[in-house]
Structure 1
Amino acid sequence: MKLKSPTAGLAVAVLAALSFGTSGAFIKPLLEAGWSPSAAVTVRAFVGAAVLLPIAIVALRGRWRALWRARIRVLVLGVVGVAATQLTYFAAIQRIPVSTALLIELLAPLLLVAVVWVTSRRMPRPLVLVGSALAIGGLVLVIGPGAIRPVDPLGLVFACLALIACAIYFVVAARPSDGLPPVAYAAASLVVGGVVLALLGATGILPFTVTFGEVTLLGGQAPWWVPILVVGVISSAFAYVAGIAAAESLGSRLASFAGLLEVVFASLFAWILLGEALQPLQLLGGALILGGIAAVRLAAPEESPSIDEIPVVDEAENAELAGPMRR
């Protein structure tokens, strides 16, 4: 799934954010029924992988070398983008408010802008700076101004690690695919992330608790597997494929700004599905995030470099240079 234009990439990025945003409304009933967060995200990763694997095998068409060439990126995305982001975020919310942890984690676009500024020694265009200010201001309003408060230092450390992991996810996802379909990239990464999470649960490092009764969902009762299936298919399988395709098309910077819409969609789903109140300030915050994304989109890429332009040569690329006829 190679997106032909930045407009298509932005549309897919919005779909990815919408899909990721459904997870909270459907995982919350599981947590209320006794599931541990680590168990929920582990099963979610495996369900997403199970959905994608048959499609990935067909999409690869026997081109297993493409998967082998991308092995470093797959491992990084699986371990950091899938597993570490979840682990550090949940470790953070055990010590600090959820809103504070989420606010810090979603500062990833600002971190990417800062890294490019330092590494390229070129100040970002004013539009990028304006877009950053609008998006972060909107994020604070959507999550709630009360997220900015004195908190536990160790919780802040975990939240900052989640921020770094989130930024790495966008950078790695934006790297050129080199013939690896996004569906195969996402499937392999979800397998890696699920295995890491499962091993941590099996060894007791993470609490791993599941229940198999009914859960409260949409005002009624439903089997436990219904929300798992929703988050596995929509906010894991589809969301990761769409997110990877969008990041490759847009670059890490714009894709990460578009990813901020996840918190807007999460608030909307919580309002529609869980009856949680949606405040006027949150609507204003959503509008500011949209304004920030539009400003960053308007910034000319040739005059405002992205972190994706920083050259990275891994083992697979070295092997490709050593044997250009291997295809």
Structure 2
Amino acid sequence: MTVLTHDKAIGDRLRSGLLCAALSASAFGLSGPLARGLINAGWSPAAAVIVRVLLGAAVLLPIALRQLQADWNLLRRNAGLLAGYGLLAVAGAQLSYFNAVQHMTVGVALLIEYTAPIAVVGWLWLHHSQKPNRITVLGAIIGVAGLVLVLDLTSGVSTSWIGMAWAFAAMVGAAGYFILSAHGGDAVPGTVLATGGLLIGGLGILIAGLLGVVPLHATMNTVAFHGFSVAWWVPLLALGVVTAAVSYVSGIAATRLLGSRLASFAALSEVLAAIVFSWALLGETPHAIQLLGGALILTGVVVVRLGEP
């Protein structure tokens, strides 16, 4: 009876974790197409990120305050974690990603960003002496080969090097997201971590915009998507509630239920979600060689993960 109860608990935890991961990936995958619509309507990437993350923080704040239970010492003890999560995993990743989709298709930008697990392996090797084995190295090689195909470097088609640079910066932010989400453990409640990170990230970009470090402009123009148009506040509301509040809370929950390894693997479904949303909202259809490259990238990341202890 004890064994059956234990197995049931593990099964419930796995199912809950996978559901949270699927929800997070789908929500994150929607952010790029929505942001691209706003950018085309005259919004700067920084302005779209600021509204997204601050609105998400406002939605989560009442829940976070209830979870915190006035334990302000918890925030002081984890100030470094909250600041790093806000500036790297939230502000850095999203600002870089939204800048990337300004110069290239959403699918390609996201596929570059999701070479992040390879960066995580490199971080663990350099800072924790966890040397990758042969399977891990093989996966990295496959991923790099896929990246070349996704960028379509061999076709002679003009490639946006600015977009590539922003996408690689987003990859660094995504790697930080997985590392810091796992590092948070159970000491900081997930909603508190997400709310603090969104607040810090949003305020950081807002200050940078007010100082003129990043362009900051917005419009109230109608936002056009593939085959239809909506008022400017509709994609903003979806960005804040769905792609910020829901995505970060469910993503942290998935990481803590599944562990960083399985959670990062499950998060790869965000690529598929983004491609579907980009096709539906933007009419972006990837080329055959890019689909092959995307399959190689995903295969490489899976092999990298399988090769890790």
TM-score band, normalised by shorter chain: 0.7 to 0.9
Residue number in structure 1 paired with 2:82: 74
Query: In structure 2, which of residues 167, 178, 181 is the aligned counterpart of residue 173 of structure 1?
Result: 181
Residues 137, 66 of structure 1: alpha-carbon distance in 2 compared, 3 angstrom cutoff: farther
- Partner residue of 1:15? 23
1:168 is paired with a residue whose SS is helix
Partner residue in 2 for 1:268 = 276
1:39 aligns with 2:44: no
Bigger Cα displacement from structure 2, 166-175 vs 34-43: 166-175
- SS across alignment from 2:215: coil
Does structure 2 retain, via aligned residues, the 8 Å contact 1:20–1:262?
yes
The structure-2 alpha-carbon separation of the partners of 1:122 and 1:57, relative to structure 1 and needing over 3 Å to count, comes to: closer
Matches within 5 A, 1:1-327: 5-6=13-14, 8-89=16-97, 104-125=112-133, 128-129=136-137, 131-132=139-140, 143-146=150-153, 160-217=168-225, 219-280=227-288, 295=303, 304=309
Query: For 1:195 and 1:121, how far apart are their aligned partners in 2?
Result: 35
Residues 146 and 296 in structure 2, CA contact (< 8 A), matched pair in contact too: yes
Distance 1:39 1:291 in 2: 35
- How far is 1:227 from its partner? 0.2
Q: Quote how far apart the aligned CAs of 1:80 are.
A: 1.4
CA–CA distance in 1 between the matches of 2:36 and 2:99? 17
5+ unaligned residues in a row in structure 1: which ranges?
305-327
- 1:25-67 deviations in Å (ceiling 9; x for gaps): 2122211111111111111111111111122222333444333
Distance 2:246 2:40 in 1: 25
Q: Is the 8 A contact 1:254 1:296 kept in 2?
A: no
Please say if residues 66 and 178 of structure 1, whose CA atoms lie closer than 8 Å, have aligned partners that are also in contact: no
| Distance in structure 2 (CA, Å) of the matches to 1:34 and 1:183 | 32
**Which segment drifts farther, 7-16 or 192-201?**
7-16
Report the CA distance shift for 1:289/1:241 in structure 2 as closer, same or farther (over 3 A): farther
SS at match of 2:220: coil
53-62 or 234-243: bigger deviation: 53-62
* Length-normalised TM-score, structure 2: 0.78
Aligned mates of 1:182, 1:266 — CA distance in 2: 24
* Alpha carbons 2:140, 2:300 under 8 Å: kept: yes
Q: Are 1:260 and 1:289, in contact at CA under 8 Å, matched by a contact in 2?
A: no
Contact 1:49 1:190 in 2 (8 A): yes
Q: Could you tell me the percent identity over the aligned residues?
A: 41
Opposite residue 218 of structure 2, the aligned amino acid is V
Check the 8 A contact 2:111/2:294 in 1, yes or no: no
> Would the alpha carbon gap of residues 107 and 122 (structure 1) be closer, same or farther in structure 2, given more than 3 Å must change?
same
**More divergent stretch after superposition (117-126 vs 193-202):** 117-126
8 Å CA contact 1:46, 1:191 repeated in 2: yes
Q: TM-score, normalised on structure 1?
A: 0.74
Distance 2:161 2:290 in 1: 27
C-alpha change, 1:69 and 1:236, in structure 2 (3 Å) is: same
Higher helix share: 2
Alignment CA distance shift 1:220-1:154 (3 Å)? closer
- Correspondence for 2:6: none
